[in-house]
């Protein structure tokens, strides 16, 4: 499966984090599994464990996000996944318009592991939270480091400011899982 190298927005550089990669590590009829790998994660601030449950404004701390827009459509889905195990799923009718909670039959499963110089965040997302596929995708991360440094990572960024909702950021593709 394809690995996406995320870039920090130049107006918000990281303190020590040097690279982030995101990739789909599994996809079947029930779950989409995505992994983010953070290099040089020594100063990463990880939100405290809060247990599973929906929560808004997860992007105010270290958070991993996935945006999906069905090919040819204006509507899209935003998924926010926190190392605290809190999550959010929203649907939009258009660019930052018509936001509502996206229903989920089950809660995503999120796990954060830290090594000596890296961290790995894995998320298993219930299939019914995803929009119709194939979809254009944007893999992103908001990274908080010690000292209050916050960086915004995406496959690509619009020039002026970080905006993960910008149509130009939906450059990856997520296809439906292949049937056995």
Q: What pLDDT does 55 receive?
A: 97
Q: What pLDDT does 180 receive?
A: 59
44 in a structural domain: yes
- pTM metric for this prediction: 0.96
96 in a structural domain: yes
Q: What pLDDT does 177 receive?
A: 86
180 in a structural domain: no
Domains identified in the chain, total number? 1
Q: What pLDDT does 17 receive?
A: 98
pLDDT, tens digit (0-9, with 9 covering 90-100), for 107-139: 999 999 999 899 999 999 999 999 999 999 999
Q: Give the CATH number of the domain where residue 44 resides.
A: 2.60.40.1190
51 in a structural domain: yes
Task: Taking residues 1-20, report their average pLDDT.
Answer: 95
* Nearby residues of 121 by Cβ (< 8 Å), 6 or more positions away: 35, 36, 38, 64, 81, 83, 110, 111, 112
Question: Where in the sequence is the domain holding 107, given as residue range(s)?
Answer: 3-174
Q: What pLDDT does 158 receive?
A: 86
């Amino acid at each position: 499966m394809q690995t996406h190298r995320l870039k920090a927005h130049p107006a918000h550089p990281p303190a020590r984090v040097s690279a982030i990669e995101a990739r789909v590590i599994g996809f079947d009829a029930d779950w989409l599994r995505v992994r983010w790998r953070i290099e040089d994660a020594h100063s990463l601030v990880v939100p405290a464990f809060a247990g599973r449950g929906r929560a808004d404004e997860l992007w105010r701390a270290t958070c991993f996000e996935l945006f999906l827009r069905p090919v040819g459509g204006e509507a899209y889905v935003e998924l926010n996944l926190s190392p605290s195990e809190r999550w959010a799923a929203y649907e939009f009718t258009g660019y930052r318009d018509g936001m509502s909670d996206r229903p989920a039959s089950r809660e995503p499963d999120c796990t954060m592991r830290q090594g000596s110089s890296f961290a790995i965040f894995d998320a298993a997302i219930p299939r019914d939270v995803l929009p119709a596929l194939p979809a254009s995708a944007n893999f992103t991360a908001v990274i908080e480091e010690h000292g209050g440094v916050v960086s915004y990572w995406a496959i690509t960024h619009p020039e002026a400011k970080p905006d993960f909702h910008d149509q130009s950021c939906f450059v990856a593709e997520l296809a439906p899982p292949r049937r056995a």
